[in-house]
């Protein structure tokens, strides 16, 4: 009798683990590919900027981020981009990625894309850290900064560097952003 109950309980656990996850509201940005579920990694982003800057000077934007992984049996394969929309379209050419202790992890190259200026962070970044972007300022402006997460990649795809356009066409794209306002120095 105990043996039969053990087998029944084991089969019930397997059935629950293999059952498809319910559809959830996805914050999918991609217009060509729809996401099947909510993000596997949630990213909380807070941003601040140099409070005021003289016109035609530099503004430093600091993004503090923290990632929360959805509990899963499968490994996560994805890729990340950091950036956003800058005032007057003047964005940075590079960004510095720091870990939670403030140690420099990487310098990211940034480029202008149809949806803003974005820096390729790749697939291996710390779960907590800071990104510093320095951009020219054109006076007062509102900047929308954050992370784009591309999901539903396999291991081989996560090792490959896709262009932003190609990643948006092929994979599920979730966006996590916040707004920063800068004012000109008088």
- Taking the C-alpha atoms of residue 118 and residue 89, their distance in angstroms, rounded to an integer, is 12
- State pTM to two decimals: 0.72
pLDDT of the residue at 64: 94
User: What pLDDT, in 10s, does the model give residues 104-128?
Assistant: 999 999 998 888 899 988 877 888 9
DSSP label at 70?
P
pLDDT of the residue at 166: 80
Higher pLDDT, 99 or 29: 99
User: What pLDDT, in 10s, does the model give residues 23-65?
Assistant: 223 355 555 456 767 787 888 999 988 766 665 678 888 999 9
DSSP label at 89?
G
pLDDT of the residue at 180: 84
pLDDT of 9 > 60? The answer is no
pLDDT of the residue at 25: 30
Burial 111-137 (b: 16+ CB within 10 A, else e): eeeeebbbbbbebebbeebbbebebbb
Task: Quickly state the pLDDT bin for 89 (edges 50, 70, 90).
Answer: low
pLDDT of 130 > 90? The answer is yes
pLDDT of the residue at 22: 30
pLDDT of the residue at 172: 80
pLDDT of the residue at 8: 52
Task: Quickly state the pLDDT bin for 101 (edges 50, 70, 90).
Answer: very high
Number of helices (H), then strands (E), in the chain: 3, 10
């Amino acid at each position: 009798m105990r043996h039969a109950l053990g087998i029944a309980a084991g089969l019930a656990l397997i059935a629950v683990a293999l059952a498809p996850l319910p559809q959830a509201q996805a914050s999918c940005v991609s217009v060509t590919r729809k996401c099947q579920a909510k993000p596997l990694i949630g990213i909380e982003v807070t941003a601040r900027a140099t409070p005021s800057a003289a016109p035609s000077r530099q503004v430093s934007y600091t993004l503090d981020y923290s990632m929360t992984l959805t509990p899963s049996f499968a490994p996560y394969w994805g890729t990340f981009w950091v950036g956003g929309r800058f005032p007057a379209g003047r964005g940075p050419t590079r960004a510095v990625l720091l870990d939670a202790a403030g140690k420099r992890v990487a310098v990211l190259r940034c480029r202008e894309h149809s949806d803003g200026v974005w820096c390729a962070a790749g697939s291996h970044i710390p779960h907590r850290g800071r990104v510093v972007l320095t951009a020219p300022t054109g006076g007062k402006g509102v900047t929308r900064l954050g992370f784009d997460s591309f999901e539903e990649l396999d291991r081989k795809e996560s090792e490959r560097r896709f262009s932003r356009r190609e990643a948006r066409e092929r994979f599920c794209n979730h966006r996590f952003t916040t707004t920063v306002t800068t004012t000109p120095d008088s």
